[in-house]
Chains A and B, each alone.
Chain A
Amino acid sequence: MSLKYWLSSAWDRVFRRKELGEEMEEELRAHIGLRADDLERSGMNRARAERLARVEFGARERIREESVAAMGGLFPGLMWQDVKYAIRVLRKSPGFLLAGIVTLALAIGANAVVFSVMNAFVIQPLNVARAGSLYTLQHGSDTGSQQSYPDYMDLRDRNHTFDSVLAYNILQAGLDTGQNPSSVWAIEASGNYFDALGLKPYLGRLFHAEDEHGPNSAPYVVLTYACWHTHFHDDRGVVGRVVRLNGHPFTVLGVGPEGFHGTLLFFNPDLIVPLVEDPLLAGDDLNARGVRWIFEVMGYVKPGVTLTQAAADLNSIGAYLEKTYPKDEGKRTFVLTRPSLYGDYLGKPVKAFMAGLMLLTGLILLAACANLGSLFAARAADRSKEVALRLALGSTRRRILRGLLTEAMMISVAGGALGLVGSVALLRALSVWRPFPEWPIHLAVNPDAKVYAVAVALALLSGLLFGVVPVRQVLHSSPYEVVKAGTGTNAGKRINAREILLVVQIAICGVLVTSSLVAVRGLVRSLQAPFGFAVKNTMMAQTDLSMAGYSGERVPAMQKRMIEAMQALPGVETAALADNLPLATGSNEVSVYKDTSADLRPSNAAAEVGIFNVSPQYLRAAGTELLAGRGFTWNDNAKSPQVAVVNVEFARKLFGSPANAMGHMFKRSDGTRIEVVGIAEDGKYDSLTEDPKPAMFLPILQSPSTSSILVVRSKVNPQMLAPAMRAALKDLDPGLPVLVETRDKPMQVMMFGPRMATVSLGVLGLMGAMLSITGIFGMAAYSVSKRLRELGIRVALGARRAEVVRTALGRAVRLLAIGSAAGLALGLLATRVLAYIVYEATPRDPLVLAGVIAAMALLGLIATWIPAQRALRVDPMALLREE
């Protein structure tokens, strides 16, 4: 075909479509006219001639359609026709349309949200050079990656399989820019950090390995772009300025690249300082091999080296360290994991949870498709007369199917668009949300092209999926049979695919309802569980005296003054101080030994216990019950014998029982003997879901610490104390950054995981419930309308109301029961997984079981209410008239 002709016909097709259609009509009319003329000439009267001509011509509609196809499809035109027809049909049943769109919008929206969260957390690589070959050097024995500085140097210098090995530590520091001192989060990074990650400065310069010359030799600071924006107001003159970190002067070298937030996903630090400055900032010892204070060590695997080879290389270094430094090193093995979620520590649970969510939302979408599919099939059955009529008038089956598919596609595209809009709004909100103001935690889950592509693909796929459900029905319908039989009959007893889908869907809903109820119960219980301290009426003020340059003798003196200042405030009942707080900062863990142990190696330890260094009156201020013995006084100081208050679990573990513990001694790893002078109640220390843990309290004068958290118990509303506390502390030292908050505030952080899990499960449960309702409703309504005639006959023969309802809905209710039972059983299994996240997630909870059964029964009631009413209103006379 010549290009010129193609162009002109394309032009015609697009711009003269209507004209072409009219031309064709005229031509076909002319043909019939000419034929009729001939027939008339042969002696027929005009009317008969014209009728015969039309009959001879054949099925006009089909020929018209084939002609259109022959003219080059006029495809867009035909599609437009389909769309117009679909709109007309759908407008006639707005309820169906709305149900379809909302169902799909929810299902696709949920999938888009979960996928984009997974995309951000798991799929997307870090925003650094060669992210694919960057790995965390995780311990083989646990999910940590902490190392001591000498070990880091050995790992860096002795390996043969890494291009570079970098390390960083996380530190909260006091930043003084000359105005308000504030508390910021800093990364202490090894000298090769920026160069290895391939980062270029936005402003000024970054530091390099050559800048380091031993401890405290590189007092430089690099600001992150975000910190430069918030703390320095985009001041380009910041380079070269001297700021104070924990009271020490640091020179601002430059500003990091925009969009760089460190290598941890949720954790956005404010600034980066060289690791060698740690002795000055935090007081760790760069030479101590046994103290693993560096937070994470990462490495770039050389191209062509496999992970097994790299791990073997690291393990041989581990063996060398173990052999060379037996005093400091235990068995050292390594595995390589991804750094973005701190290896397996967060990575494993997050991946497992996201995969679980993705599976659930996928199932929800499948259930939605099954739902819509059965609704479509029901509609197609109701429209069988229309289909039969169209087939009889010469329309092709293909054309009718295309029409049905067009309807399905329109619903799925509308639903998908709506779902996507909703999910984008939700994701935007999530991205700017900072769940905990004092932690630099961001959930950067902005949707990207991948998310849009997935949503569109899901919408089209689901449209196809539920659109093809009625295909077989249409293909097999013979116009003659349908017209003859009328509607109804064929209420087969065999379970069909649609019913299986419905059972599966109800089971999914049951799983979701069960797990969300378990999660909610766990959350409620975790709020009521004994913490081992009082939350009510308590304020805390958190600071670190090293942030204002305190050290040595000045630390305890300042701490004493702080406590006295708090005690003096009106409304304060008790004030005390600790270096760490349970369920706030959590505990540090140390090894303790039986008094009889002579060999104080880590492997001989009697227990790993949480340690809290506290001032006198701490137990009273915190509301921790002292079960026996005494608390501390200011006389428990460096010169007096070392004493401790231990919790019940500690006493049980080291001495067999609390009674045995009182007055007895135990040892720390440096050989110090400590006497137990009191027993305190057990509590939760690091997480709400932990098992009972041994813990001990030591007098802060005997084991001093610059970390200082004031616990203030008040007689009045504690919130009202906050300004007075802030003012009093500012009076003591205006250069000390202090965070004043209620006692339960940091606990919100602990609750975050369970809460997120509960909310997402709750939302999914709700969606599953809605889908089940529409599913059961669709099935029940369909079966009632299919069997109206039968029901009418039963009513006419004197069936009672209960019997009518049983006949009409028995099957739907049975399916609901089967699905719910399966869902409940699966849900109970799923709670084993939930137990990792949610406090005391146990399925053996009568309230949960009863709740699930009640919820499912309620769903069934809601879904079958309208069909049942319709079945009860059956009027045999009216039915007989209609049929």
Chain B
Amino acid sequence: MGDQANLLPGTLDLLILRAVSLGPLHGYGILLRIEQISGQALLIEQGALYPGLFRLVRQGLLKASWGKSENNRKAKYYELTAAGRKRLSQETASWNRLAAAMAAALSAKAEEV
């Protein structure tokens, strides 16, 4: 796990929204989904996920309901609300802009300046 990257502050919320946008998930599932879609490249402290989840619920971006997991445990499932969906697309767009700008800035060569 040596070459995993630490999360940038503020990016956990976006990752959660993205993970949940692909279908309702419980907390542990969200964690797995993030690992999966990030290609195991991001390091998330497991417990740290929950304050983020609760914050998003409080902001009305996620909604939660109890359900049964595939191995028959009672777990809480999260899904996007309409507001959450909207927020996800906004944040994705702004992240892409930022990432493109950063990439351009960092790859700039001397003769291009």
Pairwise interchain contact B73-A30, C-beta atoms closer than 8 A: yes
- Provided the pairs A30-B26, A71-B58 are in contact, do residues A63 and B73 lie with their beta carbons within 8 angstroms? no
Q: A45 to B71, alpha carbons, bound, how many Å?
A: 17
Q: A618 to B101, alpha carbons, bound, how many Å?
A: 111
Residues in A whose Cβ lies below 8 Å from that of B51? 63, 66-67, 69-70
Of the candidates B45, B50, B52, B73, the one having the most CB atoms from chain A within 10 angstroms of its own CB is B50
Q: Is B38 an interface residue (CB 8 A)?
A: no
User: Which residue from chain A places its CB closest to the CB of B57 in the assembled complex?
Assistant: A71
Residues in B whose Cβ lies below 8 Å from that of A28? 47, 50
Q: Is A58 an interface residue (CB 8 A)?
A: yes
- Provided the pairs A35-B28, A58-B46, A59-B47 are in contact, do residues A1 and B74 lie with their beta carbons within 8 angstroms? no
Pairwise interchain contact B75-A34, C-beta atoms closer than 8 A: yes
Q: A34 to B27, alpha carbons, bound, how many Å?
A: 10
Residues in B whose Cβ lies below 8 Å from that of A63? 47-48, 50-51
Residues in A whose Cβ lies below 8 Å from that of B29? 34
Q: Is A27 an interface residue (CB 8 A)?
A: yes
Residues in B whose Cβ lies below 8 Å from that of A69? 51
Q: A58 to B58, alpha carbons, bound, how many Å?
A: 23
Pairwise interchain contact A60-B47, C-beta atoms closer than 8 A: yes
Which of A1, A24, A33, A67 meets B73, CB within 8 Å?
A33
Pairwise interchain contact B50-A1, C-beta atoms closer than 8 A: no
Pairwise interchain contact A58-B48, C-beta atoms closer than 8 A: yes
Residues in B whose Cβ lies below 8 Å from that of A35? 28, 46
Q: Identify which of residues 1-56 in chain A touch chain B, using a CB-to-CB cut-off of 8 Å.
A: 1-2, 5, 9, 23-24, 26-28, 30-31, 33-35, 37, 56
Q: Is A75 an interface residue (CB 8 A)?
A: no
Q: A24 to B57, alpha carbons, bound, how many Å?
A: 13
Pairwise interchain contact A30-B76, C-beta atoms closer than 8 A: yes
**In whole Å, how far is B70's beta carbon from the nearest beta carbon of chain A?**
9
Q: Is A202 an interface residue (CB 8 A)?
A: no
How many A residues are at the interface, by size bracket? 20 to 34
Pairwise interchain contact B52-A1, C-beta atoms closer than 8 A: no
**In whole Å, how far is A26's beta carbon from the nearest beta carbon of chain B?**
7
Q: A26 to B83, alpha carbons, bound, how many Å?
A: 27
Residues in B whose Cβ lies below 8 Å from that of A62? 47
User: Which residue from chain B places its CB closest to the CB of A13 in the assembled complex?
Assistant: B58
Residues in B whose Cβ lies below 8 Å from that of A37? 71, 73
Q: A70 to B52, alpha carbons, bound, how many Å?
A: 7
User: Which residue from chain B places its CB closest to the CB of A5 in the assembled complex?
Assistant: B60
**In whole Å, how far is B66's beta carbon from the nearest beta carbon of chain A?**
9
Q: A765 to B111, alpha carbons, bound, how many Å?
A: 84
**In whole Å, how far is A335's beta carbon from the nearest beta carbon of chain B?**
67
Q: Is A72 an interface residue (CB 8 A)?
A: yes
**In whole Å, how far is A405's beta carbon from the nearest beta carbon of chain B?**
24
Q: Is B95 an interface residue (CB 8 A)?
A: no
**In whole Å, how far is A800's beta carbon from the nearest beta carbon of chain B?**
59
Pairwise interchain contact B74-A30, C-beta atoms closer than 8 A: yes
Pairwise interchain contact B69-A72, C-beta atoms closer than 8 A: no
Pairwise interchain contact B46-A57, C-beta atoms closer than 8 A: yes
User: Which residue from chain A places its CB closest to the CB of B81 in the assembled complex?
Assistant: A5
Pairwise interchain contact B60-A2, C-beta atoms closer than 8 A: yes
Q: Is B97 an interface residue (CB 8 A)?
A: no
User: Which residue from chain B places its CB closest to the CB of A2 in the assembled complex?
Assistant: B60
Residues in B whose Cβ lies below 8 Å from that of A60? 47
Q: A66 to B83, alpha carbons, bound, how many Å?
A: 24
Q: Identify which of residues 57-73 in chain B touch chain A, using a CB-to-CB cut-off of 8 Å.
A: 57-60, 69, 71, 73
User: Which residue from chain B places its CB closest to the CB of A9 in the assembled complex?
Assistant: B58
**In whole Å, how far is B46's beta carbon from the nearest beta carbon of chain A?**
5
Of the candidates A5, A34, A59, A66, the one having the most CB atoms from chain B within 10 angstroms of its own CB is A34
Pairwise interchain contact B54-A70, C-beta atoms closer than 8 A: yes
**In whole Å, how far is A60's beta carbon from the nearest beta carbon of chain B?**
7
**In whole Å, how far is A474's beta carbon from the nearest beta carbon of chain B?**
24
- Provided the pairs A35-B46, A57-B46, A58-B48 are in contact, do residues A1 and B28 lie with their beta carbons within 8 angstroms? no
Q: A858 to B48, alpha carbons, bound, how many Å?
A: 60
Residue interface bits B69-96, CB-to-A below 8 A is 1, else 0? 1010111100000010000000000000
Q: A71 to B27, alpha carbons, bound, how many Å?
A: 16
**In whole Å, how far is B38's beta carbon from the nearest beta carbon of chain A?**
18
Residues in A whose Cβ lies below 8 Å from that of B27? 27, 30-31
Pairwise interchain contact B75-A57, C-beta atoms closer than 8 A: no
Pairwise interchain contact B69-A67, C-beta atoms closer than 8 A: no
Can you give 25 contacting A-B residue pairs, CB < 8 Å?
A: A1-B59, A2-B60, A2-B83, A9-B58, A23-B76, A27-B50, A28-B47, A30-B26, A30-B74, A30-B75, A31-B27, A34-B26, A34-B29, A34-B73, A35-B46, A37-B71, A37-B73, A57-B46, A63-B47, A63-B50, A66-B50, A69-B51, A70-B50, A70-B52, A70-B55
A-B pairs, 3 with minimum CB distance: A58-B47, A63-B47, A66-B51
